[in-house]
Chains A and B, each alone.
Chain A
Amino acid sequence: NAGVTQTPKFQVLKTGQSMTLQCAQDMNHEYMSWYRQDPGMGLRLIHYSVGAGITDQGEVPNGYNVSRSTTEDFPLRLLSAAPSQTSVYFCATWGSGDTEAFFGQGTRLTVV
């Protein structure tokens, strides 16, 4: 089992470009979430999903879109990248009955 796989691991974008961060899981978990990590601020929730077809906003959703067409995949889209979106992004999953979240290895995104 791969667990939670994020791609890419590193990315540099120019301001205004768009891109999609991929998150795939093979654990059949219902819950999936995206977090961003910034120095001195810990991890903050961007968007989350409680199942295929259901998504909702977290604490810092502006500038990001998500969709959940399958249980396995939860992509995060940046429609027009801004320098303020320079951060490390984590995808996490959680299955019902579990008592912990499982994280991907993170994506370091730099917007210049």
Chain B
Amino acid sequence: AQTVTQSQPEMSVQEAETVTLSCTYDTSESNYYLFWYKQPPSRQMILVIRQEAYKQQNATENRFSVNFQKAAKSFSLKISDSQLGDTAMYFCAFSFLQGAQKLVFGQGTRLTINP
């Protein structure tokens, strides 16, 4: 079975700093998707960034980027120039390419950006 582990239950940084959230996963598959989801207090699940395992290039979306290390099964999220609106719970998630209806989530990291 696939597992996703987020070892940082809570993190806190000052506004404008850079922060990195860690995620490790375990799978025997070679092709899959990895995701970072943001959940603000509104409870809505918002996709932050997505990585296809068959792509070597790390995904980036504006201030958000990932460090995808396939051999180490590591998928960290870097948030640059953090903003107050980045305060949220962040979930790392895994999905098979076939079987996208079965996402496997990590435990979550609660990130607080302080003014």
**Chain A residues near B (Cβ < 8 Å):** 31-33, 35, 40-45, 48-50, 58, 88, 90, 92, 94, 98-101, 103, 105-106, 108
Contacts and interface: CB of A to CB of B under 8 A. Distances in A.
Interface residues of chain A: helix, strand, loop or mixed (majority): strand
A88 B44 CA distance: 11
A41 B108 CA distance: 8
Interface of B: 4, 6, 9, 33, 35, 42-45, 47, 50, 52, 91, 93, 95, 100-108
Given A42-B108, A90-B45, A106-B43, A101 B9 contact: no
A106 B37 CA distance: 15
A64 B100 CA distance: 21
A45 B93 CA distance: 12
B45 A42 contact: no
B30 to A, nearest CB: 17
A44 B44 contact: no
B107 A42 contact: yes
A18 B113 CA distance: 41
A44 B42 CA distance: 19
Contacts of A43: 91, 93, 103, 105
B102 A45 contact: yes
A48 B102 contact: yes
A103 B106 contact: no
Contacts of B50: 99-100
18 contacts: A33-B103, A35-B103, A40-B108, A42-B91, A42-B106, A43-B105, A50-B101, A88-B43, A92-B103, A98-B100, A99-B33, A99-B52, A100-B35, A101-B47, A101-B100, A105-B43, A106-B43, A106-B45
